[in-house]
Amino acid sequence: MQHSDGGQREVFNTRVGFILAAVGSAVGLGNMWRFPYVAAEGGGAAFVFLYILLTLAIGIPLMLSEFSVGRGARLSPIGALRKLGGGRWSVLGWMYVFTGFLILAYYSVIAGWVVRYALDGIVAGFAPDPAVRFGEVTSGLTPLGFHLGVMATTVFIVSMGVQKGIERAALVLMPTLFGILILLAIWAFTLEGAVNGYAFYLRPDVSELLDPYILSQAAGQAFYSLSLGMGCMLTFSSYLSDDTNLTREAVTISFSDFGVAFVAGLVVFPVIFALGIQGDVSESTMGALFIALPGAFVEMGAAGRVIGILFFIALGVGAVTSAVSLLEVVTASVIDETRINRRKASILGGILIAILGILPAVSLDFLGVMDKLAEAMLALGAFFMAVFVGWVAVGAADEIRKGAPERFHRFVPSLMASIRWVVPPVILFAAVYAFIAVYTEYMSAFGGGG
């Protein structure tokens, strides 16, 4: 892709490189860890259907909002919002950077557990008592070490730059993840209890959809999974040229992300049901992935060991590419705001986030509260992004048309209508639930003498 404004801002080298980097951001713990359980709990196939609707009605319009601001201004969030909306709006950019800090601090801790589980499998096989092992993996000082390892890897990739770091890593890592996941799904299909697993995952329970809580969960999951609400897609799109068809890329990225989440469910549930351990799962999503699955792998003997290693490698790959995109928001903001170079900016950001991550690394309670807080911040960030693009800054429609062939232009009016009228109320609704969840989580962790 050509650099069209003659400056020296970095650009993605190829279309595929950009798409895989954006899908790398989107696909992460949210897809392979959270989606299957939120879906199963929220009504199975009915939830999946609702989720697709929300991806179309909210996810894609929001992603295009971020793209139009990012490519329009060719700056990271703080500068881009200032350029298109004036000084006041740069505050939203600062909030995005703060949210990036918050998410990456605990996200890299969980990624560290994932790496440790992969190593478990490789070195000695999965531990016979998975609940005990989960306790070991998440307490003491070792999680801190793994968190630092993940952060160091992330800093390394980001410090290498957009083309040589982020794009190159995505071109290698994402096909690896897709390949592993497809293999796992085929293998899971051959398991004896597979049908029961599918039946649990995709049982079409429409009644759940009438529950406003489920709707808020689906909306929250949609923008978390698509990396929206904190300027991540905005930042990536600032490395695009004017001939990129933003609409087509947003659709491709969103459906790839959904595809991975959906297929992850086709892996997770057959494994769990093959062994009849679904009882362990209903307690918590965390328990599901880190206790039930290793438990299943251990019972499946040698095959389970290989499969488990592959599963945790895929999960680790997804987590690292997401971590990269989170650190890129922080790094790009430092570069644009201060003229500190990329290498120093990424190291500085990485060190500060690594320090913030000490809290969730040593305390699961902290991690839980940070996760809920992050979700609430994302909802707020997504809300203001839609308001900004729909009501404040003019020119998003033109930016979206730019680089898109004529036949794409007819979608623009309904896109803009969604950005103005559909996205803000739905997100606000999700935000209210998200903030209540922060409070509940906080009270259960630290309230009442706990």
The residues binding ligand TRP (CB under 6 A) are 25-26, 28-31, 103, 224-225, 227, 229-230, 232, 322, 325-326, 378
Indicate the residue among 193 and 229 with the shorter CB distance to ligand TRP.
Answer: 229
CB distance 77 to 356 below 8 Å? no
Nearest to 323 by CA among 78, 153, 113: 153
CB of 405 to ligand TRP, least distance (A): 29
CB of 221 to ligand TRP, least distance (A): 9
CB of 344 to ligand TRP, least distance (A): 23
Indicate the residue among 233 and 251 with the shorter CB distance to ligand TRP.
Answer: 233
Indicate the residue among 90 and 227 with the shorter CB distance to ligand TRP.
Answer: 227
Indicate the residue among 244 and 322 with the shorter CB distance to ligand TRP.
Answer: 322
Token pair belonging to 143: 């999680």
Indicate the residue among 25 and 256 with the shorter CB distance to ligand TRP.
Answer: 25
Indicate the residue among 300 and 378 with the shorter CB distance to ligand TRP.
Answer: 378
All residues at 6 or more sequence positions from 218 whose CB lies less than 8 Å from its CB, including other chains: 38, 42, 47, 50, 51, 54
Helix (H, G, I), strand (E, B) or coil at 2: coil
CB of 249 to ligand TRP, least distance (A): 16
108-141 burial: b if 16+ Cβ within 10 Å, else e: bbbbbbbbbbbebbeeebbbeebeebbeebbeee
CB distance 79 to 73 below 8 Å? yes
Indicate the residue among 274 and 379 with the shorter CB distance to ligand TRP.
Answer: 379
Q: What is the dihedral of CA 120, 126, 128, 131, to 10 degrees?
A: 70
Other Cβ atoms less than 10 A from the Cβ of 301: the count is: 10
Sign, CA dihedral 291-443-213-388, equals negative
Indicate the residue among 191 and 352 with the shorter CB distance to ligand TRP.
Answer: 352
For 62-94, what is the HEC assignment? HHHHHHHHHHHHCCCHHHHHHHHHCHHHHHHHH
Q: What are phi and psi of 277, to 5 degrees?
A: -110, 25
All residues at 6 or more sequence positions from 304 whose CB lies less than 8 Å from its CB, including other chains: 126, 296, 297, 298
CA atoms of 19 and 369, how far apart (whole Å): 32
Indicate the residue among 322 and 363 with the shorter CB distance to ligand TRP.
Answer: 322
Helix (H, G, I), strand (E, B) or coil at 9: coil
Indicate the residue among 194 and 233 with the shorter CB distance to ligand TRP.
Answer: 233
All residues at 6 or more sequence positions from 172 whose CB lies less than 8 Å from its CB, including other chains: none
CB of 124 to ligand TRP, least distance (A): 28
CB of 21 to ligand TRP, least distance (A): 11
For 5, the enclosing helix (H) or strand (E) is none
CB of 182 to ligand TRP, least distance (A): 19
CB of 167 to ligand TRP, least distance (A): 16
